[in-house]
Amino acid sequence: MVRLSAIQLNSKANVEHNLSVIAEQLDILTKAATNARGMNCHNVEHIVVLPECCLFFGANDKAQLSLAEQSHMNNKLQTALSDLAKKYNVTLIAGTIPILADNGNKFTNSSCAFNTNGELIGRYDKIHLFDVNVEGGVNSKETNYCESRFTQAGKSACLVKIPFSSTPSINIGLTVCFDVRFPMLYQKLTALGADIITVPSAFTRVTGKVHWQTLLQARAIENQVYIIAAGQEGVHENGRETWGHSMIISPWGEILACIEEGEGIISSNFIPQEIKRIRTSMPLMHTAEN
């Protein structure tokens, strides 16, 4: 059996704290699988998604750049996430972390995928950066975001292939947060063979309230894929408010699991036959090609 899980966090501007919380959640997840099945948790294969900025959030983007610079030489952030994937025997789509760009002046907001051996099997650099003015924030003031000031946009879509013993390999398309507003990226990942598309996010409360669920369901329905969207939630140290409402959505657009507020885990089964059934009965890709 393959289980899909999303972990919702309220990450701090403290790497060690966040790693500890993630480890606690993964421990809960694997123990729950053992208790539910009455067997060793290794008989249940997990794909787990973490939120955007999972290891460092609640400070400004310049602090993210400093973290990228500090971890550049020893690869500390990736190593810590790799260790978690291996320890808890999960395929870990590790939200995003800042990785120093080649020019050294900016960082990429990167989603790193690790297999159960802790090996890095894919990395996606967020393409669509959050440069917006959001009205209706705290005290109805306009809030400005300019992610591109310190972040270098990615250029390529990324699909990772995960072999499992219980099912043929699963293809996972990687996206991040603001990408969800750009359907062409999701269509490209589906054309490449995606069965699942992950959406680690830190959606603002203002935009999340009106757009989050609609966008996620639309991407699932039009591409006939599972969506795993793991979000940041709550008020953070810099005053930013994130929406949470992490969700797992079926290829038919049904919400299979959701956690609205607080930190925690949601899970659902991956049923590849559902993808085949829906795509056979409603062949959208074939129609689009014609």
pLDDT at 289 over 70: no
Integer Cα distance of 85 and 1 in angstroms: 18
For 65, 75, 79, 97, 205, the CA distances from 104, given in Å and listed in that order, are 9, 15, 20, 16, 32
- How many structural domains compose the chain? 1
Integer Cα distance of 190 and 288 in angstroms: 12
Integer Cα distance of 278 and 36 in angstroms: 29
Q: What is the pLDDT of residues 257-272, one digit of tens each?
A: 999 999 999 999 999 9
Question: Which residue numbers are catalytic?
Answer: 52, 126, 177
Q: What is the pLDDT of residues 202-227, one digit of tens each?
A: 999 999 999 999 999 999 999 999 99
Q: What is the pLDDT of residues 17-39, one digit of tens each?
A: 999 999 999 999 988 877 765 54
Q: What CATH number should be reported for the domain holding residue 197?
A: 3.60.110.10
Domain that holds residue 18: 2-289
pLDDT at 12 over 70: yes
pLDDT at 138 over 70: no
Please answer whether residues 60 and 237 qualify as being in contact, where contact means their C-beta atoms are separated by less than 8 angstroms.
no
Alpha helix locations (H) across the chain?
15-37, 61-71, 76-87, 183-191, 205-207, 213-223, 272-281, 284-289
Q: What is the pTM of this model?
A: 0.94
